[in-house]
Amino acid sequence: MGALQWSADFLKSKGSDSPRVDAELLLCDVLGFKRVQLYTNFDRPLDESEREKYRSYIRRRAAGEPVAYILGTKEFAGLEFRVTPEVLIPRPETELLVERVTAAIKLAVSQEPGREFRLLDSGTGSGCIAVSIARWWMDNMAGSGSSLVVDAWDVSEGALSVAASNAARHGVDRLVHFQRIDMLDVSAWQAGPAWDFVVSNPPYIGDGEFAELAATVKAFEPRLALWGHPDGLHFYRRLAEFARSAMTPDGKIFLEIGYRQGDSVRSLLESHGWVSVQVELDYARHPRNVIAVNPRG
């Protein structure tokens, strides 16, 4: 398919970091193919409607629009999620957070079999964290004799609509309960149940880092889900302050952070009485997650 090579070259000239992959993913959507089928059907010509749709996609990508928004989907943790400009595009690094949470849930079930566990995803966005955890539970723990209730908050109605559609898509809409709640509102924490696990990937881009973001991120992804106020730590301060009183003793909090924020977030949590605070690295060896325990007493 000559269109594929031409499109990849064109996207490269426009600054795409992954021009060949972008061109392949967009063409797969046009043709309804898996990527391998592009090469088993390499001599298949495009008809006029396919050419026009593909040109439209390539023009949008050349203008900087992310592939995930063009296609309306993004894979995360082995699941396909609907995404729109109302939500951040799920990142592979966040899959590490899901892995840490599910491992902690599995351990808790082994230590206290037969009880109900509660989890809060604060700032759920597309729902990728909450839905992935709920789907993991259904696939691996549903017969354990224990139960899991997942609450998911977001301040954006648009994000909640996307998240709810993703829960329905993956068959966990009865397990995940979405609410329009601002995590900065202390009364929401005071009114909630006692959660065993709190997970959050909050806005953490400060003013300095915002200037360094890729132009496509600034132009297309929602600022509401990116900007963490001037120093990027505003939401972590509130989480460190508010979450402890809303959690069970020995409950765990899991936070995704910016790669420069490990020491700062650790200090914030410790100053509010959290214990066993750990900063964990991502696959690139950058600080990415902070995990802490709500002490007894």
Query: What mean pLDDT do residues 239-258 have?
Result: 98
**What local confidence, expressed as pLDDT, does residue 217 receive?**
93
Domains assigned to the chain: 2-63 (1.10.8.10), 86-293 (3.40.50.150)
Query: What mean pLDDT do residues 15-24 have?
Result: 95
Q: Which structure tokens are listed for 244?
A: 């402890």
**What local confidence, expressed as pLDDT, does residue 297 receive?**
64
**What local confidence, expressed as pLDDT, does residue 126 receive?**
99
Residue burial 279-290, b: 16+ Cβ < 10 Å; e: rest: beebeeeebbbb
**For residue 187, pLDDT beyond 90:** yes
Range from 47-51, 97-101, 211-215, 221-225 carrying the lowest mean pLDDT: 211-215
> For the whole model, what pTM was predicted?
0.95
Band of residue 117 on the pLDDT scale cut at 50, 70, 90: very high
261-278 pLDDT, tens per residue? 999 999 999 999 999 999
Query: What mean pLDDT do residues 86-91 have?
Result: 98
Query: What mean pLDDT do residues 47-57 have?
Result: 97
Cα 59–Cα 62–Cα 65 angle in degrees, nearest 5: 90
Cα 62–Cα 67–Cα 69 angle in degrees, nearest 5: 110
Residue burial 107-117, b: 16+ Cβ < 10 Å; e: rest: ebbeeeeeeeb
Query: What are the strands, taking DSSP E only, across the chain?
Result: 73-76, 79-82, 116-122, 147-154, 176-180, 195-200, 247-256, 275-281, 287-293
Side chain identity at 267, as an amino acid letter? S
The structure tokens 């759920």 sit at 124
Q: Which structure tokens are listed for 161?
A: 């609509």
